[in-house]
Structure 1
Amino acid sequence: MHRGLSPFVLLCAIVAQACSEISTEPRGPAPAGTVTIGMASQLAFVTQALKGAVANTVISPPVRVLLRDSLGNTVAGATDSVTVVLATNPSGAILLGKVTVAAVDGVATFADLQVDRPGMAYTLAATTPSLDSATSAPFDVHVTFRSVEAGYVHSCGVTVSGAAYCWGDNSMGQLGDGAPASPWYRSSPAPVGGGLGGLGGLQFTMISAGVWHTCGVTTSGGAYCWGDNLFGQLGDGTTEGRATPTPVAGGLRFLRLSAGSRHTCGITTSGAAYCWGDNQNAQLGDGTTDRRVTPVPVKGGFTFTTLSAGHGHTCGVMPSGVALCWGDNSSGQLGGGTALDRVAYRPYPGPVVHVRGFTSVSAGNVHTCGVTTRGEAYCWGYNVWGQLGDGTTIQRSVPVRVAGRLRFTGVDAGSYFSCGVASGGQAYCWGENVDGELGDGTTVARTSPTLVAQPVAFATMRAGWYHVCALNADTGAYCWGYNGHGQLGEGSTNPRYAPAVVVQ
């Protein structure tokens, strides 16, 4: 052996070619995309596939998981079965699609994954029985609402794709998600069981949130309701509650539905009005006080353009602009004037006096509001909280002009307060404010319109019992007020005294 030379160097001298192929430098991972033949030991997500997800829509491009060796190289020929699940799941979402697939040449491709509801910072976890798991980068899932509605302690909306979502109290199944072990409330939007990606593939044009039930109209004009049905307010011929959309009996085709406290009314494609459910105050307008579990025509054969079901009364507008109301009149909410002051209820439609040219009316708890073709807002009925907006707390049996001479595109009557959107998109509310439902940052009641502390202009606004939801065409849905059941949809049960963004 030569003095001072190691056996390795001597070997290199003897086998020069072999030595030239051996490096004494440590090796690092191969460049990205390198494929090797060996044993897989770890998983890795192709993270760019998780950007811009839309709820109930296939994630595109598809989610891909790589099987890699210890140096980070994709292993050619690896065919392990890989399963993905939602690891971080802030909204209690369901991952739809084929969640277990076999890898092809070290790549597992999930071609039809969908997340069924909106949420922020979801993550996916990929696992196999024998390899180290991997977690994806956080990603958001969105929906775009075209309408929102506020009920008693729940809210709902319809997306641009026709999917229906609801959030808030679910003790009577009014969210319509149909889950067998559904929680009693959800603080962010959950898909209605008949919505896109859900049972039946129903697409909705509108939705209406009542007290303990919800109703909607599909693109074919079909009427569906779900939730509490003690009074027959679902209109399916029974008094059984439903946790998913159930068709209203009779096969009628509707343009709109309005869910009241314990009754429901709708306008058919011909403009005829039908109602069903509780009728103890004659709010169905069929001339009786008999409860109905299927739709019955409103007496008089009138044609309506809009209809609104309140607590114990109902109102609508005819093409002529004349507003008609029927049902409970205990506080003058039918607007019939002194001739009706001593009448507890009216079982058929009668005119609202003194004002013509209405474009819409909204029946609240025990008061009513409407907007005329000139944008003037009028309210009548109970006024102990100033919900008529005329600067007083005096009850009125005829319409009074809302103070401020504002011009409105729409006004909505809640329980003991009212809200409206002015022609410039400014939002105003007035009346009770115990839970911050006026949205002005306080809990002080107002007897005339007060500006909502809105971050953006609103196109529409819906007043529930103790909360409000509104919509901006660009930035989406906002809600504020009482939130003890998660009805604001912003992910908590904390009250909000100004508009808060719904998870979307």
Structure 2
Amino acid sequence: MAGSPEGEKKEEEIVKGGELLFWGGSSWDTLGQKVTDASANLVSPTRLRSLLGVNISFVASGCASCHCVALDVDGRCYTWGRNKKGQLGHGDTVRRDRPTVVSELLKHKIVKAGAGRNHTLVVTSDGHSFAFGENKHGQLGSGSARNEIETSPVRCLVPQVSDAVCGGDFTVWLSSLEGSSILTAGLPIYGQLGHGTDHEYNARDSSVRLAYEAQPRPRAIASLAEKTIVKVACGTNHTVAADSNGFLYTWGFGGYGRLGHREQKDEWIPRLVETFQRQNVLPPNAIVSAGSQSSACTAGGGQLYIWGKIKATGDDWMYPKPLLDLGGWNIRCMDSGFAHHVVGADDSCISWGQAQYGELGYGPHGQKYVFPVSIS
């Protein structure tokens, strides 16, 4: 306001939230196995009783996860699902079927979160990061992999954190630290950490069996030191990132063309995706997403591009192609699982792909759609 006295406190930014709806597999301990309890799945969008009346501002559940994270507008962190590695952060390995507040984080305001196969990352409003769950590969970023499981939050060795996302067994942080805008730690098997090596070695007890050295200390990606990375997404074993100039980079496992380079070669350092250059760079409000076997982003005009293994049959998309079914929609957010995708577009929620556990949200008689359909 004009003429306001100096020293007057600025109003805090209002965090918008809403009601959480959940659908998909919820037989947590058997998901992904040959035998599972289909009766526990929620095949239609469902309100969770323990979150009724809670204003949720952020949710996270990775494409390899069997657990979920939700944050409310006051910065409280809720977790539920599988907990065999302590990935819920409650100091134990007991499964939670209902969203439960992580009590050790109540002293912090949590604003971002990520979920890996068996680990969880959170980011506080003052730029700190905490992690819990499996740490066999150093994916918690605590500087040590001595403890293979951390059932309570431990501090990550990354300063000035703005975001943290998880792959299957690795983690990526975004930081405002100059020259270190993106850092990684964890399992390096396919080069998904972006450091130019997979840290492969022969195991001591065998000259044939290969192992991969854990990387527990978060390390800035040298080839991106001159770039400012502003958006990042992780698949199970690959990474997608956009810089402040709108250029897109991918690295890690290259199977099914999920890196978008017209070949299936693994990339050990970030490689520029040629499609998004010149007149087709990503706008500041672009969406970047990654599933287990695919990648996606929005580019010029808000058009959604996707590449990798898009459906069970037919050719893989080896480079980014526009998904014309969603042309003209204002895509606000997107996430992908093993073989399905969900976007928030205008005031609608749209899904497509393969559904094993009701994850498309079409109800008890819903079909598996290979093209986008609005969830009614």
TM-score by length of 2: 0.81
Task: Give the CA deviation at 1:268.
Answer: 0.6
Q: Distance in 2 between matches of 1:351 and 1:414?
A: 24
1:429 alignment partner in structure 2: 306
CA 1:473–1:431 in structure 2 vs 1: closer, same or farther (change >3 Å)? same
How does 1:48-447 map onto structure 2 within 5 Å? 162-172=18-28, 183-196=39-52, 201-210=53-62, 211-250=65-104, 251=106, 252-289=108-145, 290=147, 291-299=149-157, 301-319=158-176, 320=178, 322-338=181-197, 344-355=213-224, 356-405=227-276, 406-408=280-282, 409-435=286-312, 443-447=314-318
* Conserved 8 A contact 2:352-2:370: yes
Q: Which amino acid aligns with 2:341?
A: V
Q: Which range is displaced more, 412-421 or 219-228?
A: 412-421
* Conserved 8 A contact 1:235-1:295: yes
1:462 alignment partner in structure 2: 335
Q: Distance in 2 between matches of 1:424 and 1:344?
A: 43
Task: Give the CA deviation at 1:432.
Answer: 1.6
* Conserved 8 A contact 1:377-1:411: no
CA 1:412–1:279 in structure 2 vs 1: closer, same or farther (change >3 Å)? same
* Conserved 8 A contact 1:353-1:399: no
Q: Distance in 2 between matches of 1:490 and 1:219?
A: 29
Question: 3-state DSSP class of the match of 1:354?
Answer: helix
Count of residues in correspondence between the two structures: 327
Task: Give the CA deviation at 1:494.
Answer: 2.3
* Conserved 8 A contact 1:386-1:430: yes
Structure 2 unmatched ranges of 5 or more = 1-15, 31-36, 202-211
Question: 3-state DSSP class of the match of 1:359?
Answer: strand
**Off by >4 Å, runs of 4+ in structure 1:** 338-343
Task: Give the CA deviation at 1:344.
Answer: 3.1
Could you give the per-residue CA deviations for residues 356-408 of structure 1, whole angstroms, max 9, x where no partner exists?
A: 21102112211111011111110001102111111111111111112312423
Give the alignment's Cα RMSD to 1 decimal. 2.3
Q: Distance in 1 between matches of 2:249 and 2:361?
A: 31
CA 1:305–1:331 in structure 2 vs 1: closer, same or farther (change >3 Å)? same
Q: Percent identity?
A: 27
Q: Distance in 1 between matches of 2:123 and 2:49?
A: 24
Q: Which amino acid aligns with 1:387?
A: R
Higher relative contact order (CA 8 A, sep 6+): 2
Could you give the per-residue CA deviations for residues 115-143 of structure 1, whole angstroms, max 9, x where no partner exists?
A: xxxxxxxxxxxxxxxxxxxxxxxxxxxxx
2:207 alignment partner in structure 1: none
* Conserved 8 A contact 1:468-1:480: yes
Question: 3-state DSSP class of the match of 1:424?
Answer: helix
How does 1:471-486 map onto structure 2 within 5 Å? 471-474=344-347, 476-486=348-358
Q: Which amino acid aligns with 1:166?
A: F
Q: Does 1:449 align with 2:320?
A: yes
Q: Which amino acid aligns with 2:115?
A: A
Could you give the per-residue CA deviations for residues 294-347 of structure 1, whole angstroms, max 9, x where no partner exists?
A: 110012x41111110110000011114621000000000000124957663310
Question: 3-state DSSP class of the match of 1:280?
Answer: coil
* Conserved 8 A contact 1:173-1:243: no
* Conserved 8 A contact 2:233-2:239: yes
1:64 alignment partner in structure 2: none
Task: Give the CA deviation at 1:453.
Answer: 3.6
Q: Which amino acid aligns with 2:162?
A: T
* Conserved 8 A contact 2:84-2:94: yes
1:90 alignment partner in structure 2: none
Q: Which range is displaced more, 213-222 or 319-328?
A: 319-328
TM-score by length of 1: 0.61
* Conserved 8 A contact 2:240-2:251: yes
Q: Distance in 1 between matches of 2:262 and 2:141?
A: 32
Q: Which amino acid aligns with 1:417?
A: S
CA 1:382–1:339 in structure 2 vs 1: closer, same or farther (change >3 Å)? closer
Could you give the per-residue CA deviations for residues 477-501 of structure 1, whole angstroms, max 9, x where no partner exists?
A: 1111111211011224522111111
Q: Which amino acid aligns with 1:485?
A: Y
* Conserved 8 A contact 2:189-2:198: no
Q: Which amino acid aligns with 2:161?
A: F
CA 1:225–1:182 in structure 2 vs 1: closer, same or farther (change >3 Å)? farther
Q: Distance in 2 between matches of 1:466 and 1:326?
A: 26
Q: Which amino acid aligns with 1:447?
A: M
Structure 1 unmatched ranges of 5 or more = 1-159, 175-180, 436-441
Task: Give the CA deviation at 1:167.
Answer: 0.3
Could you give the per-residue CA deviations for residues 240-291 of structure 1, whole angstroms, max 9, x where no partner exists?
A: 1111111113123201111111110010111111110011111101122221
- Structure of higher CA gyration radius: 1
* Conserved 8 A contact 2:190-2:198: no
Question: 3-state DSSP class of the match of 2:287?
Answer: strand
Q: Distance in 2 between matches of 1:468 and 1:360?
A: 19
